[in-house]
Amino acid sequence: MDYIKIRFTKDVGQLSSEFEKTFEEMFRVINPMFTLSERTWKPQMDIYETPDEIIILAEIAGVKKENLELEISNKAVRIYGNRTEFPKAENATYRLAEIQYGKFKRILFLPAPIDPEVVSASYSNGFLQIRLAKLMLNKTYKVPITDG
């Protein structure tokens, strides 16, 4: 059985600094000709939660599982990988080219603290699903008081 790589980190500051847009990314939206370095793309994602967990669903069709990595802290998730381009047909004139290839990275800040030790990730039919158990911070516990 193959596993998806999950790396845990406590340095959320590093994740947030990478989250900021650069001038190149702003110009790339206007015109792809402004791209100076290797092209990146951002897959579409959904985040939803139940009372017990946060679920992230990423649409990354065509990405091989061995080209995926996750980094998880108790406040954020970073998903990154690479989708390789299909060989282009010789002597073809493209009339539409919307599929994005190359490296991608998404940093998602979580709506609630999670337990980084209770995480699962699965990849099926082009969708990566990450399930994160919430920390129950508002739970109260009775503590017995002993003598002495």
Rounded to two decimals, what is the model's pTM? 0.68
Q: Could you read off the pLDDT of 42-79 as tens digits, one per residue?
A: 999 999 999 999 999 999 999 999 999 999 988 899 99
Q: In 1-148, where does DSSP find H-type helix?
A: 12-19, 23-30
Dihedrals φ, ψ of 29, to 5°?
A: -65, -40
All structural domains of the chain: 5-83+101-134 (2.60.40.790)
Q: Could you read off the pLDDT of 87-118 as tens digits, one per residue?
A: 888 888 888 888 899 999 999 999 999 988 89
